[in-house]
């Protein structure tokens, strides 16, 4: 089977209007056997057992992975291209109990997960623990859920973490800490991070009590719901962080009033239901009987964005109208910014306009979009336009920025035969950064920095 995406608007770049053809092959049972990309490379290859479970997967970037299921179809062993391995075991009720893992062939097989269920607890019936997870040891420590309500909702959750002394021993020797719960070693910190929940009849959380803080207090979050079941208010330690949330008949948010007296309103298209405008400003609140009125204050606008879309929903323009959001000296002025976006017929971003700080240029930083200090007002910014080119798979090939005093080009090169990024260089060919990966396609280094 083939699928073809056709770019119907040819340009000077022939790659932009070549057909993107994907090929798929299935076996007699309808299982996907392989996928070929537009360069006629097999990017996925699958093998199945008689239960139609995929036992073997070969991916162009991540290599070969294998899964061995048990008689009921649950995975009991898995491996990947870097010789990482996982094992799992289940109890008689087919619940996961043990999990083992090793990162590679040089690593020992370690128990990284151990679960106990309510039947092993002291008072399983009293605390509604029958059939429920009770204790779980994982790579962060231990989670205990000592009690549930009669509907099966967890009432209390206690988290214990790995002790600082245990972690420090490994770090002092410059080796990563790898958990192994075999024989349940005593490596947990003595402090309990306890979280408590209360629920209503619809199983919604009505009170969330957080773990004890540095002031020896347990803060509370109290959500309130409207008649339709949607979130309406949020209180944190008797302070209203969210005063009101209103919705339309479709369930989309129309208004949210925050405890800091900032209100955001939303407008949607009546037919497509897409967001057309969002506006944030200070408000005053008045109540008469059961009616609460929220009125905005003139001259307190904090956010005002309009959105335009094409027929398939791609954003064409984001028009902002607040003080100092624009660029001084442009036709829109200092208090308006029109960010425009164009796409090719395959809906890939071709160009984008916006503003950036003009106090420092991209040459001072590895990437042009890295955060740089500057005064974010209309007199210390400049306009820019960025254009993007892609290959037939959608991998970005070039990003070119045009801006007064800060124009540059970034070329992206990929490793032969795969889709992993090899390097980024300037338009003149000077290397900016290169990348390395392991056998499964995970990024290992970016330049001289280890990920």
pLDDT for 370 equals 58
- According to the model, what pLDDT value does residue 428 have? 81
63-to-16, 44, 84, 353 alpha-carbon distances in Å: 29, 9, 12, 39
Return the sign of the alpha-carbon dihedral for residues 388, 394, 395, 397.
negative
- For residues 53 and 68, the answer to whether their CB atoms sit within 8 Å is no
Task: Summarize pLDDT for 148-162 with one digit per residue, the tens.
Answer: 999 999 999 999 999
The predicted pLDDT at position 338 comes to 96
Interatomic CA distance for residues 165 and 120, integer angstroms: 30
Q: Reduce the DSSP state of residue 350 to 3 states and report it.
A: strand
pLDDT for 274 equals: 98
Weakly modelled stretches of the chain, pLDDT under 50: 364-365
Tens digit of each residue's pLDDT (9 = 90 or more) over 368-389: 555 555 556 667 889 999 999 9
Alpha-helical (H) ranges within 198-293 are none
Q: And the tokens for 443?
A: 């990024």
Q: Could you state, in order of their start, the residue ranges of all structural domains in the chain?
A: 1-75, 82-203, 219-307
Query: Could you tell me if 340 and 327 are in contact, meaning their C-beta atoms sit under 8 angstroms apart?
Result: no
Per the DSSP assignment, residues forming a β-bridge with 393 are none
Cα 286 from Cα 173, distance rounded (Å): 63
- How much is the pTM? 0.86
The CA distance from 261 to 145, in Å, is 38
């Amino acid at each position: 089977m083939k699928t073809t995406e056709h770019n119907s608007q040819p340009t000077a770049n022939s790659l932009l209007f070549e057909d993107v053809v994907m090929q798929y092959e299935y076996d007699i049972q309808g299982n996907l056997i392989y996928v070929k990309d537009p360069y006629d490379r097999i990017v996925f290859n699958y093998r199945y057992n008689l239960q139609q479970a995929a036992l073997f997967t070969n991916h162009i970037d991540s290599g070969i992975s294998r899964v061995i299921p048990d008689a009921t179809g649950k995975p009991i062993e898995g491996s990947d291209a870097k010789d990482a391995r996982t094992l799992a075991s289940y109890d008689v009720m087919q619940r996961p109990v043990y999990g083992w893992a090793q990162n590679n062939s040089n690593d020992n097989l370690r128990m990284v997960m151990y679960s106990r269920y309510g039947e092993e607890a002291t008072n399983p019936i009293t605390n509604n623990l029958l059939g429920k997870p009770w204790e779980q040891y994982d790579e962060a420590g231990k989670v205990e859920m000592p009690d549930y309500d009669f509907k099966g909702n967890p009432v209390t959750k206690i988290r214990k973490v790995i002790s600082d002394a245990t972690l420090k021993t490994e770090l002092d020797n410059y080796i990563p800490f790898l958990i192994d719960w075999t024989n349940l070693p005593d490596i947990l910190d003595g402090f309990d991070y306890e979280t408590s929940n209360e629920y209503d009849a619809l199983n919604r959380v009505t009170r969330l009590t957080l773990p004890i803080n540095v002031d020896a207090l347990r803060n509370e979050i109290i959500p309130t719901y409207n008649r339709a079941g949607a979130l309406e208010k949020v209180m944190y330690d008797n302070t209203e962080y969210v005063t009101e949330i209103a919705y339309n008949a479709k369930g989309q948010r129309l208004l949210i009033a925050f405890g800091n007296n900032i209100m955001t309103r939303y407008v949607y298209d009546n037919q497509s239901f897409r967001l057309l405008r969002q506006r944030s400003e200070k408000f005053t609140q008045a109540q008469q009987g059961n009616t609460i009125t929220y009125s905005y204050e003139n001259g307190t606008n904090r956010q005002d964005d309009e959105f335009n879309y094409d027929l398939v929903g791609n954003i064409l323009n984001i028009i902002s109208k607040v003080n100092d959001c624009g660029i001084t000296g442009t036709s829109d002025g200092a208090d308006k910014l029109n960010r425009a976006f164009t796409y090719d017929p395959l809906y890939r971003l071709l160009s984008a306009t916006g503003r950036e700080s003009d106090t420092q240029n991209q040459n001072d930083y590895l990437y042009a979009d890295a955060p740089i200090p500057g005064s974010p007002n209309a007199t210390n910014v400049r306009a820019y336009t960025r254009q993007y080119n892609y290959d037939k798979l959608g991998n970005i090939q070039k990003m070119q920025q045009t801006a007064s005093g800060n124009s540059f080009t970034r070329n992206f090169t990929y490793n032969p035969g795969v889709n992993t990024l090899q390097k980024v260089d300037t338009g003149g060919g000077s290397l900016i950064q290169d990348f390395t990966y392991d056998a499964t396609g995970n990024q290992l280094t970016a330049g001289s920095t280890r990920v």
